[in-house]
Amino acid sequence: MKHENIGAIILAAGLGKRMKSKLIKILHPICGQPMIAYVIDALNKLGIQKRVIVLGHQRERVAEFLNDRNVEIAVQERPLGTGDAVKSAEQLFDEWRGSTSDTGDVLVLSGDTPLISDNTLERLIETHHVSGAEATILTVEMQNPTGYGRIVKDNEGYILRIVEETDAVPEERAIKTVNTGTYCFKVSALFSALKMVSPSNAQGEYYLTDVFEILNSQGGKIASVSADSSVEVMGINSRKELAVAETYLRRQILDNLMDNGVTITSPETVFIDRGVKIGQDTVVHPFTAILGQSVIGKDCVIGPHACIIDAVIKDEATVVFSSIK
């Protein structure tokens, strides 16, 4: 589906201190692709053409990766919070807003959520349109919601506000419904409300989440839709979480290959990157890694103990106990 009246803002200005790395978080690879690539691909599947990414640290390095991916760059000069980050993208939306009038909508999502699917984003957009809300929030239920903003709803199920954990009272911290950091807004409502956000909180930052209370005070409606899984909306903030995402996506890759006629005799010991292509009736044996943009033909036998990196293997070939690059 092509969403011509929907833009997207990807928040990616943070360095990611918990990664303990010189490399900005969104460029850390998962199954052979930087995590930001997965977010952009989800937008591609939705046909969203207006994409703006908000960068701060290492923006030149990120820009190099984004060179041919039709993504505009906005710069957040200082780390003043998510509200300030979104506001830094406003100028790039001015002309687009004129072409879509007040019917335009915008997704706001994080660059460190590579597991989010286009199907979930489609449900968010559909709920937003059907509800007629000023904003719609993607939420999720968590048994242990530590670290997440809590969703406070009214008696009809509409959202009153999001309370960040550092500002929450004990009753609010007990809430299990949390904010995933992914939203769909009416464009005009978003940028109008952002002008009223102030840094009067424990962190001294401009919270994007304050927009929802402002919209409510103006009589606007805030809807919500729940993600199916907390794993899908997980933000990657540490090497441990990076490993969780790698395991999750690697299994998806292997399942897809097996569904399309590839035999993988020991999925627990096989590593295959996202960009790899493998032909029908090829068998992949244990302790094998097929990485990069490798292309494996039909009716091949790969492994055990094979490592293939950015190589082309023709039909009916056998590769065992070998390293090919």
Q: Residues 248-272: pLDDT tens digits?
A: 999 999 999 999 999 999 999 999 9
- Catalytic position from the list 18, 69, 97, 123: 18
Residue 248 in any domain: the answer is no
CA–CA dist 226, 321 (Å, integer):
47
114 vs 203, residue with greater confidence? 114
- Lowest mean pLDDT: which of 31-35, 85-89, 152-156? 152-156
Whether residue 325 is predicted with pLDDT greater than 80 in this model: the reply is: yes
Peptide bond into 304 cis (omega under 30): yes
Q: Are residues 129 and 198 in the same domain?
A: yes
Work out the pLDDT band at 1, boundaries 50, 70, 90: low
Return the CATH number at 25.
Answer: 3.90.550.10
Domain total in the chain: 2
Q: Residues 9-20: pLDDT tens digits?
A: 999 998 788 999
The residue-averaged pLDDT of 201-217 equals 87
Q: Are residues 202 and 314 in the same domain?
A: no
Residues of the chain with pLDDT > 70, as a percent, come to 97
pTM as predicted: 0.92
The residue-averaged pLDDT of 44-57 equals 94
Q: Give the sign of the dihedral formed by CA 152, CA 226, CA 190, CA 111.
A: positive
Peptide bond into 267 cis (omega under 30): no
Whether residue 101 is predicted with pLDDT greater than 70 in this model: the reply is: no
Residue 244 in any domain: the answer is no
Provide the domain limits for residue 54.
Answer: 6-226
CA–CA dist 157, 70 (Å, integer):
38
Q: Are residues 196 and 274 in the same domain?
A: no
Residue 233 in any domain: the answer is no
Q: Are residues 49 and 159 in the same domain?
A: yes
**Catalytic-residue membership of 18:** yes
